[in-house]
């Protein structure tokens, strides 16, 4: 059974870099059928797609975050990571990692999710 688990600091200071890792277990991150994505949700607000990565390293980023965002993959550890630089209070959110399809018809289908981790930007 596939499981995703986010890990990383729960507190980040303004202007610093938020770093999270998603560890994938029970399945291989190198499956050709899936991309691996990050989604966030500020407290009491809606969901926002951050970006996605394929096991080959191919990435797609939310244009509104692209200038501050790096998503990478480590196939040897079966995990992928998020780095968001120059954070502000507006980046405070629950961050989820999730798997989604690699084809158009299922690209939006985030079918497996981590439990989410709250990251607070706080000085």
Partner 1 sequence: QTVVTQEPSFSVSPGGTVTLTCGLSSGSVSTSYYPTWYQQTPGQAPRTLIYNTDTRSSGIPDRFSGSILGNKAALTITGAQADDDSDYYCVLYMGSGITVFGGGTQLAVL
Question: Which residues lie near partner 1 (CB under 8 A)?
Answer: 39, 46-49, 52, 60, 62-64, 96, 98, 104-111, 113-116
Do the Cβ atoms of 28 and 96 come closer than 8 Å? no
Distance CA 13, CA 105 (A): 39
Q: What minimum distance in Å lies between the beta carbon of 8 and partner 1? A: 17
Q: What minimum distance in Å lies between the beta carbon of 76 and partner 1? A: 25
Q: What minimum distance in Å lies between the beta carbon of 54 and partner 1? A: 10
Do the Cβ atoms of 20 and 114 come closer than 8 Å? no
Nearest CB to partner 1, comparing residues 12 and 114: 114
Nearest CB to partner 1, comparing residues 5 and 16: 5
If you count them, how many residues does the chain have? 123
Do the Cβ atoms of 80 and 74 come closer than 8 Å? yes
Q: What minimum distance in Å lies between the beta carbon of 4 and partner 1? A: 9
Residue 120 structure tokens: 């607070």
């Amino acid at each position: 059974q596939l499981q995703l688990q986010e890990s990383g600091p729960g507190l980040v200071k303004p202007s610093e870099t938020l770093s999270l890792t998603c560890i994938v277990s029970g399945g291989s991150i190198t499956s050709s059928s899936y991309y691996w994505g990050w989604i966030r949700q500020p407290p009491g607000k809606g969901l926002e797609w951050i970006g996605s990565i394929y096991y080959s390293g191919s990435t797609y980023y939310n244009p509104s975050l692209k200038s501050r965002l790096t998503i990478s993959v480590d196939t040897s550890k079966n995990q992928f990571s998020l780095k968001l630089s120059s954070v502000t209070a507006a980046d405070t959110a629950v961050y989820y990692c999730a798997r989604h399809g690699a084809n158009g018809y299922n690209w939006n289908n985030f079918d497996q999710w981590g439990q989410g981790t709250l990251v607070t930007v706080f000085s």
